[in-house]
Structure 1
């Protein structure tokens, strides 16, 4: 495996006392400096996570492009459980759901029979629901609690119920998508929610998020979680089929529009357009297919669904535009929000999809219109944020904000370490492109700091002030004022044990995540190795998505070339080496 010279690389990043070096000459108190340091690191953490989201979206599209014609095998190669499984019965009461959650919190997982029985029962309920859940006005005794992203976190799910209470006829719930991925307990979280749906079909509603997607689950970890626990691809596809039956959004009459991501980019899109989407056909929204591969109606439906699940508000710019930071959906301004919400006679949009520091965020759109973001995974993905639930009562324009924190936040030192590692890996992966970018300005290894900063931002698609993130003094001390020795800088990010002139290995490292995704498709039996039969089958399919000059003309011969140790199959390292030669 390739690794980094971490001690050398990490030393170039601004951490600890050097992380606030820009503030040192100013008379700030220690507390103010620490606050600035924390804000700087949290801003960088958010930028890195947004970039990761876009990159994984691209990987999901790659998976979709290769696998869209590869149906899941009717019988899994191996169907044995690898974890200790409990024999549960599908709950028939709230008390039984509470016991189920308690068992899951003690690291017990349900067996396949329980999951399949649960899916059979709940799918019948979902299939009867429309794309848009329509709530009439709430009764005096009723409340509606809206829960944001949970992302496989059982502790947060428990804290949600501790904070907002359990569902009942009076305490209605909308769970606004993103139940799985990015964690280790996605199957347990979704089993609790599906059980509640069975017991309270008119009080609990689950809306689809962008992570309830067959391709995205393979890029973010839900696929790996399920295969690790159950050694079954079939079970994953059965769960993803269930996700395709989930309603898309909800409407509280004359009051709220609730959806995971945002609004459709076409202001003429109506509620009838949304309701007409055959949602069960879209087990994946990020398909990787070209527009011409879909007929006009399917493309229209896919675009609306993508916008509803992937889009974000932008309070600083009017209109709509492509959501390049995520790689899917659109960005919409407050003017657009006013127009579209007005067309459906509501004043408030409640959405999730974005981690916000306080667990919720309000955007005032003017003229009484507003957008709320609610996020319910506390200290998400190693960050420092509260979780929240929004609770509405009859005729209330502003929700009650219920905040919680299910686990201890990571220290600022831990966040800095995460940021350092992420930046290091990012620069290493883009080593070749950065050499070319900086080399285009080369005057004896020197470029201006502006060229260096802009080059990093452009190549890495990360718009930050790099002088705040990296200690540049070692690379500027012998250079003319305003310049940096970019070759000395890049040398700190060479891959351990790999000469920077070994372009094949450098390029291999740059593509290792994409190669890992492709390997999952080639490895049909999911046993960690690719047999000759699997390789030939997948090569024939892959040829449909490669330009003619990169297609495989003799896959059997190519397999023999890759199988260095002549075992009759190839492992990931052999596969990467072969793929690097071809692609």
Structure 2
């Protein structure tokens, strides 16, 4: 009896153990699949962002082309560069920008007292937490005072640390004010004993860029030796036209927005290029290349670089510097030397090669819950310490599956938009591979076409189940790449190919036309629309019949006053997904 009871207990124990192992293995596999989906979603976000940033460099060559050709079409509306030169001249008169703007008694936002003190930092932080807007008078005064100090500084700021005085390095914030609040909460406010380096890209994308800029500038004015600002590729008035800061300024400061934008243009140009910590660590936005010459960068007249998108003129082309910015780069050298010449791997030990670090301080950058932000604390003679954080909102409390679903849906949505913008090119590529005219390709053939046309370097085979229909034999029905997704057009008469082309280049066109719209009225002339499209299509080798563009321009000029509201025109070219209203009469199915 005793043996039978013991045997039964053993069997039950073995059964429970096997069940526990089965459940454990299933859960591990489940989490691994979720992590893989999360990884693929982040890969989509990052690949598309990288492709867009590389596209910015193409705009630089276009502006060269435009400056050479546009003058022959409209000499009286000459150089985009005039925007920079005129603003620099105008800014010499402080009265026009600051002193002429009164702060009314009815204003109940923060009031700054110059010279600024730490009390003003606290005042700003509390006001911005309450979503108050700083009056334009104070914004302009802060920018003027900050620019005055920046003009006295060298291209590279040198700082020293000690065991009792670490320095904190922060990366991109991109207008995400909650991240800055969280950094200050975890790490303390800037002070003489708590220095910071903010490594560029304070603005754009997020909705609180001006608030971040004001906090950083006021802190800089209070602690000019302990808070350091480096210029990023988004501290650039041309980039702001595309990525949102210009719109934020004009929305929040309707009356004085243009003045703020003019001052920002010169303010950006005086920001230092980088910071050198303890004479051995280089902190610079975008990192360095094998051809970077610090001696040249020390001598360059940084205030002449108004925008990375506007090329140098012939007179200063010899002094051009490398402007290919990607992400925040913090370069550490273990032996106290900053290596900048020769091959990137020449004479480097494995240890030296691994001390290049990228730091990014905007959490939830692509989607709520998508990523953590981080900062680094440095101290002479010690190993850098890394701190991660994430602003927690409602979605961050959701189970991992729901957060991954949200990320994946958002990533697939923007990927589908990229696919529909290249529908004609993709269709031709599919048909060239489809020798039997069956409407089907192998997954490998489909993936080859997607990569070849879109150039996004994505795991297309793994993503295929989210993007296309696959039959029982494992073949892709390639026209399903465009299923349930459409481009809405602004007018019924627009040709579908023109709609697709304009959608594909809508971001580039927006930055070009906003540059022409120097008074930020949102209006451009029909003649400018035609002329600029002609140059754009010529430079980018986009073949659209001129008559179609002329017809579209005339139709868009509804009141026949010779002007087009181009901002609304661009907004009309958006992708409609299957979960949106597909029954509108003004929706064109490009299938």
TM-score, normalised to structure 1, is 0.73
Pairing of 1:39-438 with structure 2 (within 5 A): 39-55=39-55, 58=58, 65=66, 68-71=80-83, 86=109, 88-90=111-113, 92-136=116-160, 138-231=161-254, 232-266=257-291, 269=293, 271-287=294-310, 289=311, 293-295=313-315, 298-303=317-322, 306-307=323-324, 309-310=325-326, 342-343=338-339, 365-367=350-352, 370-382=355-367, 384-396=370-382, 398-408=383-393, 411-438=403-430
Q: How far apart are residue 442 of structure 1 and its match?
A: 3.1
Map Cα deviations across residues 129-163 of structure 1 (whole Å, 9 max, x no partner): 10011124x34432211111111111111111112
8 A contact 2:557–2:563 mirrored in 1? yes
8 A contact 1:142–1:170 mirrored in 2? yes
Equivalents in 2 of 1:451, 1:556: separation in Å? 39
Alignment CA distance shift 1:57-1:380 (3 Å): farther
Map Cα deviations across residues 391-441 of structure 1 (whole Å, 9 max, x no partner): 122322x12223322233652121112112101211111111111222222
8 A contact 2:470–2:477 mirrored in 1? yes
8 A contact 2:230–2:272 mirrored in 1? yes
8 A contact 1:564–1:574 mirrored in 2? no
Equivalents in 2 of 1:521, 1:511: separation in Å? 16
Verify: 1:32 aligned to 2:56, yes or no. Answer: no
Q: How far apart are residue 85 of structure 1 and its match?
A: 7.7
Gaps of 5+ in 2: 1-24, 68-78, 91-95, 342-347, 397-402, 574-591
Equivalents in 2 of 1:472, 1:447: separation in Å? 16
Q: How far apart are residue 103 of structure 1 and its match?
A: 0.4
8 A contact 1:364–1:370 mirrored in 2? no
**Match for residue 453 of structure 1?**
447
**Match for residue 523 of structure 2?**
529
Equivalents in 2 of 1:340, 1:436: separation in Å? 55
**Match for residue 348 of structure 1?**
none
8 A contact 1:63–1:517 mirrored in 2? no
Equivalents in 2 of 1:507, 1:339: separation in Å? 52
Alignment CA distance shift 1:340-1:514 (3 Å): farther
Alignment CA distance shift 1:561-1:70 (3 Å): farther
Q: How far apart are residue 448 of structure 1 and its match?
A: 3.3
Alignment CA distance shift 1:86-1:430 (3 Å): same
Q: How far apart are residue 576 of structure 1 and its match?
A: 7.1
Q: How far apart are residue 118 of structure 1 and its match?
A: 0.8
8 A contact 2:195–2:226 mirrored in 1? yes
Verify: 1:514 aligned to 2:508, yes or no. Answer: yes
Q: How far apart are residue 526 of structure 1 and its match?
A: 2.7
Q: How far apart are residue 563 of structure 1 and its match?
A: 2.8
Pairing of 1:485-496 with structure 2 (within 5 A): 485-495=477-487
Equivalents in 1 of 2:306, 2:567: separation in Å? 31
Equivalents in 1 of 2:538, 2:37: separation in Å? 48
**Match for residue 9 of structure 2?**
none
Q: How far apart are residue 369 of structure 1 and its match?
A: 5.8
Q: Secondary structure at the residue paired with 1:101?
A: helix
Alignment CA distance shift 1:80-1:203 (3 Å): closer
Q: How far apart are residue 537 of structure 1 and its match?
A: 6.3
Equivalents in 2 of 1:117, 1:573: separation in Å? 30
Gaps of 5+ in 1: 1-24, 315-331, 346-362
Q: How far apart are residue 471 of structure 1 and its match?
A: 2.2
Equivalents in 1 of 2:488, 2:154: separation in Å? 55
Equivalents in 2 of 1:500, 1:560: separation in Å? 11
Larger Cα-atom Rg: 2
The root-mean-square deviation of aligned C-alpha atoms, in Å, is 4.2
Q: How far apart are residue 209 of structure 1 and its match?
A: 0.9
Task: Choose from 497, 501, 513 the match for 1:503.
Answer: 497
Equivalents in 1 of 2:354, 2:483: separation in Å? 52
Equivalents in 2 of 1:473, 1:495: separation in Å? 17
Equivalents in 2 of 1:310, 1:507: separation in Å? 27
Q: Secondary structure at the residue paired with 2:276?
A: strand
Q: Secondary structure at the residue paired with 1:109?
A: coil
Equivalents in 1 of 2:339, 2:210: separation in Å? 38
- Tell me how many residue pairs correspond in the alignment: 496
**Match for residue 471 of structure 2?**
477
Q: How far apart are residue 35 of structure 1 and its match?
A: 2.8
Verify: 1:465 aligned to 2:455, yes or no. Answer: no
Equivalents in 2 of 1:421, 1:472: separation in Å? 10
Q: How far apart are residue 235 of structure 1 and its match?
A: 1.4
Q: Secondary structure at the residue paired with 1:380?
A: coil
8 A contact 1:90–1:117 mirrored in 2? no
Of structures 1 and 2, the one with the larger relative CO (CA 8 A, separation 6+) is: 1
Verify: 1:570 aligned to 2:570, yes or no. Answer: no
Alignment CA distance shift 1:562-1:339 (3 Å): farther
Equivalents in 2 of 1:340, 1:243: separation in Å? 30
Q: How far apart are residue 458 of structure 1 and its match?
A: 1.8
